[in-house]
Amino acid sequence: MNDAKGILPKFKYHTDPLKTGSIELKETDCPVCGKHSNYCYEGPFYSIETVEGICPNCIADGSAAKKYNGEFTTTDECDVDNDEYKDELIHRTPSFYSVQQDHWMSHCGDYCEFIAKIGQVSNIGINEFLKNIISEDIEEVTKLLDIKKEELEEFMKKNGYIEGYLFKCQKCGKMRLYVDFE
């Protein structure tokens, strides 16, 4: 098994799940394949059964979603009309926990790559990303929160019940921002 040697499978829409905390360096006996793994999935998995301890390989090859008839995320509000992309995202991509329910952004006809929660890139800060985030996203978020663009980063830091999630379009490189709050 690759991950026993420290090599994780590649995920098109979530390229660094260790950084985001969706996969942790934590030993598990995978309930899907039955093999021992040094890495364990720690994100949401939507199925009738409660399933914990899934190894990254069983996410990547789709066997976890198939065995438990489950999904790692939803595509309800995305404007992607491609069944292959949708299958890759919901059945073979580790997701992330959000305040309410995870929401995956899309752009240029494909799903974006999940980069991190705003707090996970705090050494850089959202203001560094603002110049690359799609203006419509910034306008929507500032209108929703009733704040000015310049106040966005401070508002998220000051009011911990607001979470921002960064995504990157894999085609044009533009950043997208999604916020969720209690």
Q: Using one digit for the tens of pLDDT, what is the confidence trace for 17-74? A: 998 899 999 999 999 999 999 999 999 999 999 999 999 999 999 999 999 999 999 8
Distances (CA, A) of 115 to 62, 64, 165, 177: 22, 23, 8, 10
Q: So where are the chain's domains?
A: 1-97, 100-181
Q: How many CB atoms lie within 10 A of CB 79?
A: 8
Distances (CA, A) of 151 to 124, 154, 156, 178: 16, 6, 9, 16
Q: What is the pTM of this model?
A: 0.84
Q: Using one digit for the tens of pLDDT, what is the confidence trace for 114-164? A: 988 876 555 555 566 666 677 787 788 788 778 777 777 666 665 456 777
Integer Cα distance of 112 and 94 in angstroms? 13
When pLDDT is averaged across residues 99-118 and rounded to a whole number, the result is: 86
Block residue for tokens 């390989």 = 57
Distances (CA, A) of 62 to 44, 88, 118, 137: 15, 8, 29, 31
Which pLDDT value is given to residue 155?
A: 67
Helix (H, G, I), strand (E, B) or coil at 17: helix
Integer Cα distance of 116 and 19 in angstroms? 8
Rounded to 5°, angle at Cα 112 from 17 and 62: 55
